[in-house]
Amino acid sequence: MVAQLLLFIVSLLLVVQGATLATKYSAKLAENFHLSKYILGFIIVALISILPETFISINAAIEGTPAFGLGTLFGSNIADLTLVFAILIIYARRGIKIESKVLKDVRLYPFFLMLPLLFGLNGHFSRIEGAGLFIAGCLFYYLVFRNGLDTTVEAAENEGAVKSIAHFFTKHKNKLKHAALLLFAMALLLLGSHYTVTSATAIAQSLNVTPILIGMLVVSLGTTMPELFYSLKSVKRKDDGLAIGDILGSVLADATIVVGILSFISPFSFPVKIVYITGAFMVVASFILLYFMRSNHTISKKEGYGLLAFWVLYVVVEFFSNK
């Protein structure tokens, strides 16, 4: 038991460290190609931030516990939409400002999050449903990417990107370093995710609790660390749009693209209460967050504490429903 607990802690630390490095160096590479901050936060960093959940979910499926991966994905999303925003507001000691462009892109956000719930009402994800989720996620990101382009500077950015590629191997050798470190970070993620799943499952069996509970309430918190660290740095620089884009982008990708890939590779069944309880909390959290975002285009301190209280309620409900 002690050995498994130590292995779990070390594995989760590997996941967090690997994801943090991957987020950092993917952002550096994206900046080299002159992508806007808006696209950088909502798409590039967000897609890298979901690597921990992705690797853990795939490893869980390989180990024969796909529900562990699904619980981790949904639990991580709820933490991102509530706990992480609350921490950002408490850390910044001010409200988080919301840009009009963000509100325009997230009008249909909760409805995209509802797709995995609708597909999973029967407690099973098929390959067709997985493909549908993947396409829906890609469609959302396409719309964000299109809206995020600044047409007045698009030509200049494209010219800069071409020059950046032309000098990639000659003038800017540090890019090779960033790329190598990104690959190293992904290797850490892969290794850590494998042992996180195996050790968490062993601990759950020792404690006579379902592994899904550990995935929802423990592993999911570890996988939110990349978004949290990146967003804290962004808020400190008063780049609230970057922080919000990273978090919202990660959540959407988890619920659509990652679940889609997982079920397309290997269709799986799971306890339907993951949809009715965890999934429902995820969608409700998104509606509450968007309501707060639209109120004066700011998430206030009071609303931040409200999000924290919602996350505590979620933890209590999950604990007693999976006890």
| Domain ranges, ordered by start, for the chain | 2-321
Cα 235 → chain centroid: 18
CA neighbor of 252 nearest in space, from 76, 86, 126: 76
Altogether, the residues listed in the chain come to a count of 323
Q: How many CA atoms lie within 13 A of 131 on its CB side?
A: 3
Residue 200 DSSP label: H
Q: Which CATH architecture has domain 2-321?
A: Up-down Bundle (1.20)
Neighbours of 211 (CB within 10 A): 24
Chunked in runs of 10, what are the mean pLDDT values of the chain (323 residues)? 77 72 66 60 65 76 79 89 92 82 74 93 92 92 67 42 46 67 72 71 73 76 74 78 78 90 86 90 94 86 94 91 75
CA distance 151 to 9: 47
Neighbours of 86 (CB within 10 A): 22
- What local confidence, expressed as pLDDT, does residue 44 receive? 63
Contact 210, 67 (CB under 8 A): no
- What local confidence, expressed as pLDDT, does residue 79 receive? 92
CA distance 127 to 133: 10
- What local confidence, expressed as pLDDT, does residue 233 receive? 76
Checking phi first, is residue 96 left (phi over 0); if not, alpha (psi -120 to 50) or beta?
beta
- What local confidence, expressed as pLDDT, does residue 31 receive? 64
| Tens-place pLDDT, residues 268-321 | 888 898 889 999 999 999 999 999 988 878 889 999 999 999 999 999 998 888
Which residue in the block uniquely carries the two structure tokens 């779990």? Answer: 8
- What local confidence, expressed as pLDDT, does residue 277 receive? 92
Neighbours of 251 (CB within 10 A): 31
Contact 188, 182 (CB under 8 A): no
- What local confidence, expressed as pLDDT, does residue 284 receive? 95
CA distance 66 to 85: 28
Contact 29, 179 (CB under 8 A): yes
Whether the predicted model's global pTM rises above the 0.85 cut: no
User: Which contiguous run of DSSP H or E holds residue 300?
Assistant: none
